[in-house]
Structure 1
Amino acid sequence: MSMKKHLTWILLLFIFSITFSQTFPPQDETFNPSTLNEPSLPLLDGTVVQEIISDIAAPVTSNRVMGDSMTTIEKTGWKVQAFITNDFDRADSVFRKLITNFPPEDVEKAFYSPYYKIRIGNCQTREEAERMLRRVENLGFREAWIIQTKIKSKERIISY
């Protein structure tokens, strides 16, 4: 045989021996989950079941509205990002200026390292956000733009 064939066989033998000579350490299988001291789940100790049963036992029988209330939920919507900077003082001054022109609950100052972002609005639709963008641009924020993000929306909850 030629030298090339000998080297090929030696190389294959070497790779084969390395591959099958490795052993794995034995795994520790002594863990027993029944020996853990975990607090019981409310569903398993009966408290949640008792609450559910008590709600079923006393249903509301009238057809009239018991009451309604407003609640704030978080959902996907639109905002106008008016300003972005890594300087806290500039962000704060822009934030204060915008609070005087928009409802305070609609103006937010968010910090996403390393930037402070001033965002306005909790718009349900893109058209609403475009109207808001024009108002912001009229205040001198020519580089403002619309973003899609989580918004806080007030919803009426009616309970029967």
Structure 2
Amino acid sequence: MRKIILLFVSLILMVILFGCSSTGQMVKPNKNTEVRERKTGIINENFDLSVLDENELDLKKTISPESKSDNIDDLLLQTPDEQPLPEEVDGFRIQICAVSDEEKAKQVQRDAIFQFINEEVYLDYHAPYYKVRIGNCLTRYEAEQLQQTVIKQGFADAWVVRAKVKPNSDPPVQNEESPPNLDKPE
């Protein structure tokens, strides 16, 4: 038993000794070995700015494509009313249809566009349904009023849904002029 323990301890010592050894040769630097110096930077203190001719400099004004104004003063002097509105905010729409058939959804959308000329009509796809929605209502009350109008126009299953809406969308303006009368000769 003692021999086994002695053998086991010897084995562990050999593993430790071999584990601490290095694999590469140690090289001492000699005369032929290149020693690199670290250079911090070269400063030319002999440069004279007064000798530089300003007419030689060709400076061109460039406008960044990201720039929205040529004049920074215009941007700084904007009033809060001129600040752009967010593209979409939380609001409500009236959903009139949710079907899995795209063609049927497009037909319902066309009908809604003709019936609700002053409202935006959207066709959204949320798997697996195509949903036809009307309006950009910022308040629930406004949405419920639109819902009553939609129901009166024949969409009995219309309901109010939460959605991201466009706050600054102006309804399309109808042309005030009457269409030309084609039956009447001029």
**How high is the TM-score relative to the length of structure 1?**
0.52
- Describe the SS at the equivalent of 2:141: helix
CA distance in 1, matches of 2:98, 2:118: 18
Name the structure with the higher strand share.
Answer: 1
Q: Say if 1:89 and 1:154 are closer, same or farther in 2 by CA, change over 3 A.
A: same
> Which structure has the larger Rg?
2
Post-superposition offset of 1:143: 1.2
Larger relative contact order (Cα-Cα within 8 Å, sequence gap ≥ 6): 1
Q: Say if 1:72 and 1:107 are closer, same or farther in 2 by CA, change over 3 A.
A: farther
Amino acid at match of 1:98: A
What is aligned with 1:76? Answer: 90
User: Where do residues 51-130 of structure 1 align in structure 2 (5 Å cutoff)?
Assistant: 59=73, 68=82, 73-103=87-117, 106-130=120-144
* Structure 1 unaligned regions, length at least 5: 1-47, 156-160
157, 166, 170: which is aligned to 1:143? 157
- Describe the SS at the equivalent of 1:90: helix
Amino acid at match of 2:154: G
Name the structure with the higher helix share.
Answer: 1
CA distance in 1, matches of 2:155, 2:110: 14
Post-superposition offset of 1:103: 3.7
- Describe the SS at the equivalent of 1:100: helix
Post-superposition offset of 1:70: 6.7
CA distance in 2, matches of 1:85, 1:114: 8
CA distance in 2, matches of 1:134, 1:105: 14
Q: Report the aligned-residue RMSD.
A: 3.3
What percentage of aligned pairs have identical amino acids?
32
**How high is the TM-score relative to the length of structure 2?**
0.45
- The 4+ residue runs of structure 1 with deviation greater than 3 A are 62-65, 67-72
CA distance in 2, matches of 1:64, 1:88: 45
Deviation string 1:90-126 (CA, Å, 9 cap, x unpaired) is: 1111100000122476100001111000000100111
- Describe the SS at the equivalent of 1:110: strand
Post-superposition offset of 1:78: 0.7
- Describe the SS at the equivalent of 1:77: strand
